[in-house]
Each structure stands twice: as structure tokens, then as C-alpha cells.
Amino acid sequence: MKNKFVWLTLVLLVSSTLSNAQEANRRITTALPFLQVAADARAGGLGDQGVATSTDAFSQQWNSSKYAFAKKEIGVALNVTPFLTRLVNDIVLANLVGYKRLNERSAVSASFRYFSLGEIEFRENATSEANVQKPNELSLDVAYSLKLSDRFSMAVAGRYLRSDLRLQTSNLSGDSNAGNAFGVDITGFYQSEEIPYRNFDGRWRGGFAITNIGPKIKYSQDQESFIPTNLRLGGGFDFGIDQYNKISVTAEISKLLVPTPPNFDTDGSGQIEDGEVQTFDEFVKSKSAIGSIFSSFNDAPDGFSEELQEITYSLSAEYNYNDVFALRAGYFNENENKGARKFFTLGAGFKYTSIGIDMSYLFSTSNTPSPLDGTLRFGLTFLFGEDYREF
């Protein structure tokens, strides 16, 4: 992105949207929002879900405990997701993942996600030298997964987070710095044996993940923000029609374990009514990160009905032919008052020997524009090494 006007227009548009949602609908906002975006094409074709889907090389973002069930010893995968493709061409989310089975019961994995907001040029005048800024955010994590039984595994992951959104110009300096933080994931995955039914063989799947458990990220003395601590729960079922054809259906719900903003002084009177605080920054500073995880289940000003609005859900279906070809579809829904993300997704996957290619496409169905609307995503996977048997 090499145009200051375009950048400032986008910033104002996003800021206005978030501000309106914050004040009118108490939308929950966090730092590092790219952590909530599906960073791989397979999950992108399944309605942004992955906590209970079958194991793949990109499982690190969703549920790293699934690696204990991986059928291949080693996997490496890369995915690049473009953003706002109808406006610019250099905002991207890159995702590099790898895992290794250590033995029949355990595995290690790691991933690197990098979100680039492109290049931004600032000039004092038309003839002055350009001051090029490259704001970005990233995460780097490692995980260890272990089977606690033949059918259930758990994993722990540690994650380093960095958010560098500073724009250093002569007229926009301030005291902000790049923010650094860390997070921890605790995940679990269950996969049943194949169960013979009358006309097919079936298999149940279930998973949970609490991701990004950690302290707030600090940008300056007066500005800090919660990282997107998130709870995901999911379940699914595989219909094995015959030895070549399989249909999998999965459902997933998720909730941010971050405080709901209270009633602010939105009328500009300067008087704080009961239950109100003066600013959002004051509200964030008054809350502890760990304590907020537990209080996030009952802190919505409008009570239980508003807490239910903070739960997103997604549904998906995947057809797989002999592990060489797959078709996918999904739907994601978020309440109108909490962000209004609503979209359908389509996807496909192809595998030849040890190489896999995945792609997906998103159709927004919400009045709120999606930065991924109309985006085609691609992922590349390499699987090699020893084959691991099913228990």
C-alpha cells in the first residue's frame, strides 16, 4: 500500500466501524485480530473452523493436540491469505507450519504467522523523499501433544506475539512502541474407532481449545489491550460410505474470553452514570487478563442474553475421495451486535503422492464488509516419513 490517502481512509473507516460497534453494540475488540482469522485454506473452506475436524498439517492454529493422530510422520505446510484485494495488493497473512510425530503417542509442532499491512509512504510535500513504513504483526509458537489414551490426546502450546503498528512520521510520533506479549494454548481432541452401522462405517470426533491465555499487550504507558483469548468447542461425525468415499460434518462454537465493554459516557455530557466508565483505555487498564477470562462469562451489561450474543458458530461439510480429492463448504455466523461476521465458504483439496494443495473462497452475507470477501486462498502441504497406524 503506497498511498497515504488510501491508508488513512482505511484507518478512518475501520476506526469508525469499531467505534460505532463499541459504543452502540459493545463489540469486543482485542489486539492482534489476525489471530482470529483462518490462516489456512482448508479451514477457510470449512467456515473458519478446525478444533474438531480431522488432522491436517495446519492444525496448530486450531487444536495442536490433533497432531498425535497424524497419519504421516512429518508435515510442512505454507499458506498465504490476501486481504482487501479489491482495494490494495500488499496486505497479506502468511502462515508456515510444521510437525513431527515422535512416536505412536506424541508429536511436536511449530508455526509462524506474519501479518503485513503493506508499505505506506509519507511525504512532507510532493517533492520530498518518501518515508516508507511497514506496519506488521506476527506470532511464533511451539507445541507438544500427547495421547492420554488410544482415542484422546491433549497438547500445550506456547506463543510469542508482536504487534508493530507504529507510524513514525514528523507529525505523528507519540510515545507508542511495538507491543510484545505471550500466550498459552491448552487443547484436547477425541477420535473414536470406526463404528459399523447398517449402511456405512462411522467415526465421532470432538475437540476443545483455549487459546492465547496470557497478559495484556502494552503499546505505551497509557495504552494496552487484551490479546484474543478464545474458547472453542466442536464435534463432528465421519460417514464412511465405502472404502473410497467419506462425508464429514462438523459444528463448532467459540467465545472470546475477554471482558465485554461496559456502558460508556457516549452522550458527551462528561457525567458518568451508574455502570459507566469514562474511556475504553481506563476500562482495559482496570481489568486483569487472567481474572477477565473467568468474569467474561457473566460480565455483559445486558446479562445472559448478551452473553449468548457473544458466541459465534460455524457448520461445515467435507466430501473426500480416497484421500486424494476433497470438496468443502461451510457457514460462519456472528451476532449483529458483536461484529456481524456472516459468510459462506467453499473449498477444494487435491493430493498427489506427498504433495497437497488446498483452496477456498469466501462469500460475505453481512451488511458489514469483510476484508476477505471474494478472496481466493491457496495452501500447500508436504507430507513424508513413516506411516502411523490407527489404534
* pLDDT for the residue 114: 94
Q: Rounded to two decimals, what is the model's pTM? A: 0.86
Half-sphere exposure of 343 (CA within 13 A, CB side): 25
* pLDDT for the residue 207: 97
* pLDDT for the residue 167: 63
Over the chain (391 residues), the average pLDDT of each successive run of 10 is 42 39 62 91 94 95 96 95 75 94 95 86 62 83 96 96 74 66 96 90 96 91 88 96 94 94 60 58 84 90 90 96 95 91 95 93 86 88 88 56
What's the rounded Cα separation, in Å, for the pair 54 and 249? 10
* pLDDT for the residue 118: 74
What's the rounded Cα separation, in Å, for the pair 177 and 173? 10
From residue 284, how far is each of 28, 223, 287 by CA, in Å? 11, 9, 6
Cβ neighbours, 10 Å, residue 375: 18
Q: What does 248-294 look like in DSSP terms, one character per residue?
A: EEEEEEEEE-SPPP-EE-TTS-S---TTEES-HHHHHHTS-HHHHHH
Q: What does 40-107 look like in DSSP terms, one character per residue?
A: SHHHHHTTS--SSSPP-TTGGGT-GGGGGG-SEEEEEEEEEEE--TTT-S--EEEEEEEEEE-SSSEE
Nearest to 190, CA basis, from 340, 65, 325, 318: 65
* pLDDT for the residue 16: 37
* pLDDT for the residue 227: 93
* pLDDT for the residue 278: 62
**23, 266 in Cβ contact below 8 A?**
yes
What's the rounded Cα separation, in Å, for the pair 218 and 308? 29
Find how far residue 320's CA is from the centre of its chain. Answer: 25
Q: What does 263-276 look like in DSSP terms, one character per residue?
A: EE-TTS-S---TTE
